[in-house]
Amino acid sequence: MGVGADHVLTKGHLATGATAYKAGEAVVSSGDGTKVARATSAGAKLRGVCQENLDTNRLASGKAVVGVNILGICRALAGGAIAVDDRVTNDTTARFVTVNAAVGSKECAGIALTAATGAGVYFDLLLTPYGSVNTAVS
């Protein structure tokens, strides 16, 4: 896997869209559940974390399968500063931010196990299926 993981469960999914994928980005289910797309709607219900880079040439083939960590501990890409134990969700760039930073979002992808000092920094994420961690946001 591209960014390394201490994962419990990873599954291959057919990548969709026209924008390159980066290891550590958030992805959502697309279509019938065998496909994924980059998560560019802030606070989405996530399928998981992309585990490898995927360029536009491979993506354009319509046959590119990417590994997606859907449960466990993985390396994720921050969209801003994140503190240890913060609940996180995605922003509009498919990166992870604190739940409070995603305006109107109550979705939670998991808990930050390590900190990120800002956008573009990798951190360890305890990924929970479909936000099963209580976000404590009303």
Residue 138: partners with Cβ closer than 8 Å, 6 or more residues away: none
Cut 0.75: pTM above it: yes
Smallest Cα–Cα separation from 125: which of 80, 88, 100, 92?
88
Cα–Cα distance measured from residue 56 to residue 50, given in angstroms and rounded to the nearest whole number: 15
Say if residue 131's pLDDT is above 80. no
Instruction: Out of 55-64, 73-82, 83-92, 105-114, pick the least confident.
Output: 105-114
Query: What phi, psi does 114 have (nearest 5°)?
Result: -130, 165
Percent of the chain with pLDDT over 70: 83
Smallest Cα–Cα separation from 105: which of 55, 37, 44, 49?
44
Do the Cβ atoms of 29 and 11 come closer than 8 Å? no
Q: pLDDT band at 3, cuts 50/70/90?
A: low
Average pLDDT over residues 6-32: 92
Average pLDDT over residues 71-79: 95
